[in-house]
Amino acid sequence: MLAGDMKLKTFLLLAGGLGALAAVGGGYWWSQRPEPPPPPPAVAVQKSPAPSPTAPTAQASSSSHVDRLAAEAGRALGGDKVKDAWSGDRVKVNLYQDSGHGTVNRAKVDLDRDEKWDEKWTFHDDGSITRQVAPADDEQYTVEHQRSASGSWDGDAQEAPPEAAPEAAPEAASSATAPALPDWQQEALSWAGKPVGSEKIKDARKGRSWKINVYQDAGHSTANRAKLDLDRDDKWDEKWTFHDDGRITREVAPADDEQYTQAWAWSGTAWTEDPR
């Protein structure tokens, strides 16, 4: 029994010593463990301020349409009205020859083709001209100018209302200077190269003030024709042709009588007169 007690005591001493060594070694290892590197300092992210809305710049004043329209005095229309007499131009002009007049006696001007008349002109029998202007584009004509028969305006009549700078002649127009097209022209142009899905789509954009019919005749895989009635009076004001070689032409009836006396070709950025 004595020998057994000795063996047990020896074992316990050895076990206790080994445990102490393990504890000391573990503590030493922990104390010598390299410290983790400190986290990098936070960098404040500078957010670019949101761009503030830019107020629309005032358009440059120009008298280009004033001179051009004054030159219409004395023109015989051959009917009671010519709609969009400058078809293809950024300015829309309707000319009128009322009963009892041998030449144009009235005109209306829409400077931005927003379907609101910015100016009303009267060509008097004595050669003078009255120009009434709605500066706020609201058809409230609060400004009036007079042009004498000799051709001089009262004061500086040509300074209002502001309008875009004069554009280049249509044949010289570029994508940078080309005028914005009215919505009905944009719609018609969008059909070039587009399949119709049938031989005809009537009134392709219902609900608009104008009407467009699009056609895909036999032998064509995309639209090849279109007709436009700009005032829904059941008379076609324009006939468009989408040619196989990519050209686009339009024939215009200025007097709204389906007599197509004007022709235009699309250059890709503007309309140019087509001699046909």
Query: What's the CA gap between 244 and 75, in Å, rounded?
Result: 38
Task: Tell me the pLDDT band of 129, cut-offs 50, 70 and 90.
Answer: very high
Confidence check: pLDDT of 4 > 80: no
Task: Report the predicted TM-score, pTM, of the whole model to 2 decimal places.
Answer: 0.40
| pLDDT tens, residue by residue, 206-229 | 888 889 999 999 999 999 999 999
Query: What's the CA gap between 9 and 1, in Å, rounded?
Result: 12
Confidence check: pLDDT of 66 > 60: yes
> Are 96 and 117 contacting, i.e. CB atoms less than 8 angstroms apart?
no
Tokens at 249, concatenated: 């032409």
pLDDT for 106:
96
pLDDT for 19:
57
Query: What's the CA gap between 134 and 112, in Å, rounded?
Result: 13
* Contacts of residue 126, Cβ cutoff 8 Å, sequence gap at least 6: 149
Of residues 24 and 60, more confidence is placed in 24
pLDDT for 134:
92
Query: What's the CA gap between 261 and 211, in Å, rounded?
Result: 21
| pLDDT tens, residue by residue, 266-275 | 998 899 988 7
Largest CA distance in the chain: 151
Per-residue pLDDT averaged across 92-110, rounded? 94
Region of 169 (left: φ > 0; alpha: ψ -120 to 50; beta: rest) is: beta
Of residues 141 and 56, more confidence is placed in 141
pLDDT for 14:
60
Of residues 197 and 66, more confidence is placed in 66
pLDDT for 31:
55
| pLDDT tens, residue by residue, 9-37 | 666 566 565 555 555 555 554 455 556 66
Question: What integer best gives the mean pLDDT of the chain?
Answer: 78
Tokens at 184, concatenated: 């009905």
Per-residue pLDDT averaged across 147-166, rounded? 63
pLDDT for 101:
93
